[in-house]
Amino acid sequence: MKVLEIMGEQELTGSLRVSGAKNSAVALIPAALLADDDVTICNVPDITDIDSLTEILESLGAKVKRASESIIVDPKPISNKEIPESLAKKLRASYYFMGALLGKYKKVTMYFPGGCSIGERPIDLHLKGFEALGAHVTNDKNKYTVEAEKLIGTNIYLDIASVGATINIMLAAVKAEGVTEIDNAAKEPEIVNVATLLNNMGAKITGAGTSTIKITGVEELHGCFHEVIPDRIEAGTYLIIGALCGKNLKIDNIIPEHLDSLISKLQEIGADLDVGVDYIIVNKEESYKPTNIKTLVYPGFPTDLQQPFTVLLTQCSGKSKVTETIWENRFMHLPYLQAMGAEISLKGQSATILGPIELIGTRVKATDLRAGAAMVAAGLIASGKTTITNVEHILRGYEQIVEKLSSVGAKIESKEI
Ligand code: EPU
């Protein structure tokens, strides 16, 4: 079994370079199959979710070349085969093959996707979007067949501003006849990044990043070159770690405006931040004020940073509150923080955290990706040794986390036990 071992209480200093955004790259790679020619995507993070998507593309027949931080997808040899359930279940983002294959071939057979168990994670809004475009959906247990004679643009209102549904509908609609309008669309930067790739391929998308996206269908999409935006969640995780144990710790290669909600919360508790054009330097402060956070869709406080931020709240003087509104099951890190000494009580979707508390290293579990990041943050400030199990969750989303943190002075090792 692979574990991460951390000897805590080290000061982290130096520079951490943020990689390309996981949640962007995992949509850009399936989107590439819509093109008729090579698509080159650079700044792709080296994480296991990308390996899984590459496997899916290859299972469809695509030629995929990976070189350092780039991936070149040649979609010409692709045939519209069924993606094996074992591959679809490896990650959440396998669902983007639904929109992309439906857009390209007007038919797709797909299994329900995998991913972190942070809630029920239905895909009803994706399917409703496909149906609104004229597709017929049949469902046999966890296998979905979505088929259309032709896809015709229409107005689609999303009941929830879902990231996945917004992207999936864009992927299906780029080659539909006429104009599709998505209302109450999600506004995350990753959506803008996907729309930019599609436009580079020849699509006609406007409004990405606002709540109304218009897609005018085109007949053909060509190859192009595209860059993944920096990962705002990886950056945010390292900023939180910097506030916990950084000394002039530079978080580099970021877009600070993507992190506005986190930056303002960090400033509110009294964090020492120097915000540059594409970097932030962070220093640990002696004490922090408590605060309340509520997770919301972008530009609100991201649910994906809620778990690491909880660790910082254990170091604030007084009572803080965290309210999770996106996922029903995103507090699985709390029992492990409690085992490390944190004073936390959970009622419904709100956790109350009393600080400051000295955390003590012990054996903990990465129950999901961001819970794992929270365990790493906790281990870095805890006294003694923290052993984190189920690290495969962490490696799905954080590129070279051990190497990056070691390079700024953390005592962290990946071990087989
Ligand atoms: N929802 C529905 N029906 C749907 C789709 C979503 O009810 O058809 C609900 C969900 O249950 C949830 C809410 O809508 O309560 C928001 O879900 P959304 O679709 O926005 O989430 P997602 O696309 O499945 C992406 C990220 C998540 C991130 C969320 C919210 C990817 C691959 N995943 O998930 O990232 O938490 O958006 O920002 O992009 C992570 O990186 O750790 C992670 C879980």
Domains of the chain: 2-18+230-416 (3.65.10.10), 22-227 (3.65.10.10)
**C-alpha dist (Å) from residue 40 to 8, 44, 254, 388:** 40, 10, 21, 36
Q: Could you tell me the distance, in angstroms and rounded to a whole number, from the CA of residue 334 to the centre of ligand 1? A: 21
Atom of ligand 1 nearest to the CA of 124: 8
Residue nearest to atom 12 of ligand 1 (CA): 326
Pick from 348, 322, 311, 330: nearest CA to 116: 330
Q: Would you call 69 exposed, middle or buried from its count of C-beta atoms within 10 A (0-12, 13-18, 19+)?
A: middle
In short, whether 160's Cβ falls inside 6 Å of ligand 1 is: yes
Q: pLDDT (tens digit, 9 = 90+) per residue, 63-95?
A: 999 988 999 999 999 999 999 999 999 999 999
In short, whether 281's Cβ falls inside 6 Å of ligand 1 is: no
Structure tokens at 187: 């506004």
Q: Could you tell me the distance, in angstroms and rounded to a whole number, from the CA of residue 121 to the centre of ligand 1? A: 7
Q: pLDDT (tens digit, 9 = 90+) per residue, 1-39?
A: 999 999 999 999 999 999 999 999 999 999 999 999 999
User: Is the per-residue pLDDT at 272 higher than 90?
Assistant: yes
| Distance from C-alpha of 98 to C-alpha of 348, rounded to nearest angstrom | 34
In short, whether 169's Cβ falls inside 6 Å of ligand 1 is: no
In short, whether 368's Cβ falls inside 6 Å of ligand 1 is: no
Q: Could you tell me the distance, in angstroms and rounded to a whole number, from the CA of residue 157 to the centre of ligand 1? A: 17
- Whether residue 116 lies in the annotated active site: yes
Beta bridge partners of 388: 4, 364
Check: pTM over 0.75? Answer yes or no. Answer: yes
